[in-house]
């Protein structure tokens, strides 16, 4: 543990080996603690990432739709360097990109809604997890008594 004086809202993070004021959670994707000093930046980052993935998905979907709408034949598009037709492999790549981006969008939307909900409840992620753990522990005690 740290040897420094901290407030009641600070928590020591084992992953970072430091105390964070207004501790919310340790983000393994950023390899950093999220707290009072950087929570807004973290929230803006996940919104920006959501918008970027949404833009990427819309662009890919429009290109795919245009390829199918115009019924472009494989012999119409070739890459001169490779001397190969690329429409079919390109469609497959776009479809895969749209599929993975859709999954990412679902997870990011859930993360954004989760953090908005936490803010409305005036809870940190850490507090929320502790509440869930306590509820789980209490339900196990009730089941054991029955």
Active-site residue set: 27
Two tokens, residue 3: 């040897």
CA distances from 89 to 16, 71, 81, 84 (A): 44, 15, 16, 10
Q: How far apart are CA 32 and CA 93, in angstroms?
A: 33
**Bridge partners of 33?**
26
């Amino acid at each position: 543990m740290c040897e420094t004086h901290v407030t009641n809202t600070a928590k020591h993070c084992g992953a970072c080996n430091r105390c964070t004021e207004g501790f919310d959670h340790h983000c393994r994707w950023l390899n950093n603690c999220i707290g009072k000093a950087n929570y807004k930046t973290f929230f803006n980052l996940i919104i920006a990432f959501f918008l970027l993935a949404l833009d990427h998905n819309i662009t890919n979907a429009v290109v795919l739709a245009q390829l199918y709408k115009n019924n472009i034949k494989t012999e119409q598009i070739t890459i001169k360097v490779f001397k190969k037709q690329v429409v079919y492999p390109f469609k497959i790549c776009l479809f895969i990109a749209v599929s993975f981006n859709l999954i990412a969008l679902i997870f990011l939307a859930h993360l954004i809604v989760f953090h908005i909900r936490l803010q409305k409840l005036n809870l940190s992620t850490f507090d929320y997890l502790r509440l869930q753990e306590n509820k789980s522990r209490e339900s196990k005690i009730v089941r054991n008594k029955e």
